C-alpha cells in the first residue's frame, strides 16, 4: 500500500500567486481531510470530505482557500492569491469506512510564500 | 466543543527509563482518543487509540496509554525509552456521540520527546 500521496513535497512561491496542493488518498478510504500545521497554531483541520462531498469547511481560513474532490482518488487544495502568512505544512489524511477507524496522514507539502 | 491539552511542550528522559507524555481532554459525549507520532519532515503516524473497553491500550513500538475517565486523561507511556523514540507526539480526541458522518479530530499542540543516550 502506497499510503496517502501528496504533491508537491515543497512549494516556494511569491505573494499573489496561485498555489495548488494535491492529494491521493488510500484506495478504499471514504474520508479525506486537509490540515495545516504551523508552529504558532499547531495542527488545524481546514476541511474534510466524505464520499467526495465536503462535510465541514469551517476551518478554511478565508475565501482565498478552496478545496475540491472530483473523484475518490484525488483532491486539491487551492490558495489564490497566496500570502506570506499561508506559509505552513499542509497535510492530507484519509480514513477507511468504519466509525472507529483512525486517519492516515500523507507526508505533507511544505509551502513557503515569499 | 472538544479540546485537548498537552501540558508539557517538551519531555526529556534518559534511554532505558520509563516515559510518560501527558494528555487531558474535554468532550461532551463519549471520548474517542488517539495518539500520533511525528518524526522530522514526516506526516503523523498512528500509534494507538481508545474507543471503549479496557482502560489500558497497547499500540505500536511498545507504547501504551491509560484512559482515566474521572481525570479526563489519556497519558502515553512506555516502560523503557529508546533514542529512536525521540519525536513529536500528538494526542487527539473525537466526540463519539457526534452526528453520523462527523469525524472531526481535535489535536493537542504536541509534546516534543527527547530521549537522551
Task: Tell me which of B93, B103, B109 to substitute to probe the interface with A (most A C-beta atoms closer than 10 Å).
Answer: B103
pLDDT band at A101 (very low <50, low <70, confident <90, very high): confident
Q: Distance between CA atoms of B41 and B59, rounded to whole angstroms?
A: 23
Q: What is the pLDDT of residue B70?
A: 95
Are A103 and B32 inside 8 Å of each other by CB?
Answer: no
- Min Cα distance B82 → chain A (Å) is 24
The answer on pLDDT for B55 being more than 90 is yes
Retrieve residue A47's grid coordinates: 476541511
Question: Does any CB of chain A come closer than 8 Å to the CB of residue B110?
Answer: yes
**pLDDT grade, residue A84 (50/70/90)?**
very high
The pLDDT value recorded for residue A109 is: 97
Chains A–B, number of C-beta pairs less than 8 Å apart = 46
Tell whether the model's pLDDT for residue B33 goes beyond 90: yes
pLDDT higher than threshold 70 for residue B100 = no
pLDDT of A54 > 80? The answer is yes
User: In a mutagenesis test of the A interface, which of B36, B44, B91, B110 is the best target, namely the one with the most A β-carbons within 10 Å?
Assistant: B44
Report chain A's mean pLDDT, rounded to a whole number.
94
Measured between beta carbons, the chain A residues lying within 8 angstroms of B103 are 31, 48, 50, 95, 103
Of B42, B49, B108, the CB nearest to A102: B49
Mean pLDDT of B74-79: 98
> Which sign, positive or negative, has the C-alpha torsion A72, A70, B105, B20?
positive
Residue A102 to residue A105: CA distance in whole angstroms: 10
Share of chain B above pLDDT 90, in %: 79
pLDDT (mean) for B67-77: 97
d(CA A104, CA A106): 7
Spell out which residues of chain B touch residue A58, defining contact as CB-CB under 8 Å.
Answer: none
Q: Which residues of A touch B108 (CB under 8 A)?
A: 42
Q: Is there a contact between A39 and A31 (Cβ–Cβ < 8 Å)?
A: no
- Provide the mean pLDDT of chain B: 93
Q: For residue A114, is pLDDT > 90? A: yes
More confident residue, B66 or B41: B66
Query: Is residue B93 within 8 Å of residue B6, measured between CB atoms?
Result: no
Q: What is the pLDDT of residue B44?
A: 93
Amino acid at each position: 500500500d502506497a499510503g496517502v500521496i501528496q504533491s508537491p513535497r515543497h512549494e516556494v512561491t511569491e505573494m499573489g500567486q496561485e498555489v495548488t496542493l494535491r492529494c491521493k488518498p488510500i484506495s478504499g478510504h471514504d474520508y479525506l481531510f486537509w490540515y495545516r500545521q504551523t508552529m504558532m497554531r499547531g495542527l488545524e483541520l481546514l476541511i474534510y470530505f466524505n464520499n467526495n462531498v465536503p462535510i465541514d469547511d469551517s476551518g478554511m481560513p478565508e475565501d482565498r482557500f478552496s478545496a475540491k474532490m472530483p473523484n475518490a482518488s484525488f483532491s486539491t487544495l487551492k490558495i489564490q492569491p497566496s500570502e506570506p502568512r499561508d506559509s505552513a505544512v499542509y497535510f492530507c489524511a484519509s480514513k477507511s469506512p468504519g466509525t472507529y477507524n483512525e486517519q492516515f496522514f500523507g507526508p505533507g507539502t511544505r509551502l513557503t510564500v515569499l | 466543543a472538544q479540546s485537548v491539552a498537552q501540558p508539557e511542550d517538551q519531555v526529556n528522559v534518559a534511554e532505558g527509563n520509563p516515559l510518560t507524555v501527558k494528555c487531558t481532554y474535554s468532550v461532551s459525549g463519549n471520548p474517542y482518543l488517539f495518539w500520533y507520532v511525528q518524526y522530522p519532515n514526516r506526516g503523523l503516524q498512528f500509534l494507538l487509540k481508545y474507543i471503549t473497553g479496557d482502560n489500558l491500550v497497547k499500540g505500536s513500538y511498545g507504547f501504551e496509554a491509560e484512559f482515566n475517565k474521572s481525570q479526563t486523561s489519556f497519558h502515553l507511556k512506555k516502560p523503557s525509552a529508546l533514542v529512536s523514540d525521540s519525536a513529536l507526539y500528538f494526542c487527539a480526541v473525537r466526540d463519539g456521540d457526534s452526528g453520523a458522518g462527523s469525524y472531526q479530530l481535535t489535536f493537542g499542540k504536541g509534546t516534543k520527546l527527547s530521549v537522551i543516550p
